[in-house]
Amino acid sequence: MVEILMMGTIIAPVTTGIVQALKVSKIVPKRYLPLASIFIGVALGASATFLGADLLVRSWAGGISGLAATGLFELSKNGRDINDPEEEE
């Protein structure tokens, strides 16, 4: 499990960057970005042969990195949507 999380940590920034590029280019509608993020993560994990693990473990790590990339987008989105009442005074 630790191995999968460690590999997911390595793949997550790349996944985040690719999904951000898709978001800016508007190739994929915003509502499908979380799903695209998971698929991109799995594809990156499966193709990351330099990590030295079998295909299944790399794919799981990629899926986790896709979920992490989606979580980063949601955190930034929710952070901008919430107005702090103290700032308005």
Does residue 49 lie within any of the structural domains?
yes
Question: Which pLDDT band, with edges at 50, 70 and 90, does 60 fall under?
Answer: confident
Does residue 72 lie within any of the structural domains?
yes
Does residue 83 lie within any of the structural domains?
no
**Contact predicate 10/47, CB 8 Å:** no
Does residue 89 lie within any of the structural domains?
no
* Domain region containing 32: 2-76
pLDDT at 43: 92
Tally the domains of the chain.
Answer: 1
For the chain, give the mean pLDDT: 79
| Residue closest to 73 by CA, chosen among 6, 15, 8, 4 | 15
| Residue closest to 36 by CA, chosen among 16, 56, 50, 52 | 16
In tens, the pLDDT along 22-48 reads 889 988 888 888 888 889 989 988 887
Please state whether the predicted TM-score (pTM) of the whole model is above 0.75: no
Instruction: Give the burial class of 30: count Cβ atoms within 10 A of its Cβ; 0-12 exposed, 13-18 middle, 19 or more buried.
Output: exposed
Cβ-based neighbours of 68, under 8 Å, separated by 6 or more: 8, 12, 15, 16
| Residue closest to 77 by CA, chosen among 11, 19, 4 | 19
